[in-house]
Amino acid sequence: MDQIASRQFKPNSFAEALKADQEKMLEMLYVKNYRNLEYYIVKNSGTVDDAKDIFQEAFLAVWRNLQLDRFVPVDEGEFAAYLFRVGRNKWIDELRKNKHIISVEMGRDGDYAEDESPDETDTYINTVKKQYKHLGIRCRELLGRFYFRKQPLREIAAVFDWTEASAKNNKYRCLKQLRELVLKGGAK
């Protein structure tokens, strides 16, 4: 793999090799570029698991753009920079989405955080509980395993006979569905 990493690619041959799905080259780029994005995500309120998920999504998005000729890198450096930008943007989007999830911080005296009253929090929690019941059985099972039982996506995927990527995508869809239900339920 080190021979591949140190090899210089001709301008067109680099993009062509990527489009041809050269497995060793894709693996080398995956391994070589992961740590930078992991470092960024962990330093910006994320976990290693978050970094793995975001990197995988970013890598697939870049690969898809390459296959559709939306992105034609000249060399490894251009590929790495684009991959990092896509991953960073995906992480920023994730942080923005999570901003809508209300978390209650308790002070030393057990008081609620100043910007949130107990009534608002109770109302939100009750709305989430109420709308959670309207999700399909699979979504409730998947979210329950992930958030309440703290099972890793790998285990959840095995239970449902999915790939880990499918489990992640289904978790995202279920959360999106729950958010939509909560927004509709909270507006009533």
Q: How far apart are CA 102 and CA 34, in angstroms?
A: 30
pLDDT tens for the chain, 188 residues long, are 444 444 444 445 777 766 676 677 778 888 888 999 999 999 988 899 999 999 889 988 888 888 888 888 888 888 889 999 999 998 888 888 776 443 333 333 333 344 444 556 667 677 788 888 888 899 889 888 887 788 888 999 998 898 988 889 988 888 888 888 888 875 54
* Domain identity same for 12 and 80: yes
* pTM over cut 0.75: no
Q: Domain holding 157: CATH number?
A: 1.10.10.10
Q: How far apart are CA 73 and CA 80, in angstroms?
A: 9
* Domain identity same for 14 and 87: yes
> Whole domain around residue 48: which residue ranges?
2-98
Residue 104: inside a domain, yes or no? no
Residue found under tokens 């289904």? 170
Q: Count of domains in the chain? A: 2
